[in-house]
């Protein structure tokens, strides 16, 4: 949220794609109004939601990333920066695994090449994590 607030305050240009997940949309969509405002104003280009308990089969952010793998890869190749925020115990690990899988699949890389690609993203400050 702070990243988007800063971009809004500075009037930064460029696309922003937000993946937001929580258990239930009815009670856990804590930034709904702000995210919708930013989407309607154009600060957020894409908003992809994952509420894991809104349906029988659980859907998480990493599932949504995989569903959008081709476009996600195109954003990465165009210079996208990834910020992961939230639970370090499960979510961050699962999202990291999905990122590696997308890089392997869409970039047609083996596991070692994908690992180097993601490490390069991190060294270039294009893969940042605020997990707890």
Q: What is the CATH number of the domain that holds 124?
A: 3.40.50.80
What confidence category does residue 13 fall into, taking pLDDT thresholds of 50, 70 and 90?
A: confident
- Which residues are bridge partners to 47 per DSSP? 18
Per-residue pLDDT tens over the stretch 108-130: 999 999 999 999 999 999 999 99
Are residue 55 and residue 69 in the same domain, yes or no?
Answer: no
| Residues whose CB is less than 8 angstroms from the CB of residue 82 and which lie 6 or more positions away in sequence, other chains included | 76, 99, 121, 126, 127, 128
Q: Are residues 52 and 66 in the same domain?
A: no
Residues 66 and 121 reside in one and the same domain: yes
Q: Name the pLDDT band for 7 (thresholds 50, 70, 90).
A: very high
pTM, rounded to two decimals: 0.93
Q: 92 and 55 in one domain?
A: no
Domain count, the chain: 2
User: In this structure, how many other beta carbons lie within 10 angstroms of the beta carbon of residue 97?
Assistant: 11
Same domain, 71 and 131: yes
31-71 confidence digits (pLDDT tens): 999 999 999 999 999 999 999 999 999 999 999 999 999 99
Query: pLDDT for 65-89, tens place per residue?
Result: 999 999 999 999 999 999 999 999 9
- Same domain, residue pair 72 and 126: yes
Distance CA 84, CA 109 (A): 23
pLDDT of residue 35: 97
């Amino acid at each position: 949220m702070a990243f988007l607030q800063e971009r809004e305050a500075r009037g930064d240009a460029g696309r922003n794609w937000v993946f937001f997940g929580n258990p239930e949309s009815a009670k856990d969509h804590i930034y709904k109004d702000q995210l919708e405002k930013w989407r309607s104003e154009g600060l957020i280009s894409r908003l992809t939601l994952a509420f894991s308990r809104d349906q029988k089969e659980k859907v998480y952010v990493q599932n949504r990333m995989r569903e959008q793998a081709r476009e996600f890869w195109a954003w990465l190749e165009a210079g996208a920066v990834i910020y992961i925020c939230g639970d370090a115990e499960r979510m961050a690990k699962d999202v990291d695994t999905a990122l590696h899988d997308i890089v392997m699949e869409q970039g047609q890389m083996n596991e070692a090449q994908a690992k180097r690609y993601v490490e390069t993203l991190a060294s270039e400050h294009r893969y940042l994590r605020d997990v707890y």
